[in-house]
Amino acid sequence: MDIFLQNALAFPTLIFSFLLSLMMVYWLFAALGAVEIDVLDIEGDSALEGDGLQAEGLAGLLLKLGLGGVPITIVLTLLAMFSWVISYLIESLLLSYLPLGWLRYPLGLVVAVGVLFVAVPPAAAFCKPLRKLFLKFEAPASRSFLGQTAVVRSSRVTLNHGEATFEDGGAGLILKVRADESMGFKRGDHVVLLEYLEAENAYRVLSVEEFQGI
């Protein structure tokens, strides 16, 4: 265990140990419904063209690297995980045996950048089968859910945050929901999908009682 910690906390593996720990904390909060899975998503105009996707800016770069089509948080997690594994192996099999001294830091930076590039192909390979799970609903299809009941899964629902589970007859869906925080929605509450907010890919919701009184 001492050798493991020594290698995991050595530079540059320390960089990826920190990033991987950060992503694990994020996924813990996501599992509790405190944050949304795509909270860091990059918006970009994208379209299917042939067998691939095209988009502008950073979103376009991710697509070219094969990392598009899934939430950026998943991309970061995969990159951090594979980078950590590769960096750890380099540290344990090579760097730990070299008398680097102060040269460890400039060399470590070079290794960190190289490791990140090497981590892209395996991360892209994992992203590919996940894309179908994260295809966003187009507005017409989303409107078919209006008037249906969902169950809040996040700790609260506000005008900027909130998630609910919707039983679609299959594995179920996790939808973004929005409501004024004064309505006091919390985990486990039943809400009605009242309006589809296309710009946010979310639904404005209200309580079952209020919906029945409309």
Q: What is the pLDDT of residues 28-42, one digit of tens each?
A: 988 887 777 766 555
| 141: three-class secondary structure by DSSP | helix
Q: Where in the chain is the domain with CATH 2.40.50.140?
A: 139-213
Confidence (pLDDT) at 51: 41
For helices 104-130 and 72-93, the axis angle rounded to 10 degrees is 140
Sequence-distant contacts of 101-106: CB under 8 A, at least 24 apart: 104/11, 105/11
pTM for this model (two decimals) = 0.68
d(CA 88, CA 170): 40
Task: Give residue-wise pLDDT tens across range 72-87.
Answer: 889 999 999 999 999 9
CATH 2.40.50.140 fits 139-213, yes or no: yes
Indicate whether 147 pLDDT > 80.
Answer: yes
d(CA 17, CA 10): 9
Residues facing residue 49 across a β-bridge: 52
Task: Give residue-wise pLDDT tens across range 8-31.
Answer: 999 999 999 999 999 999 999 888
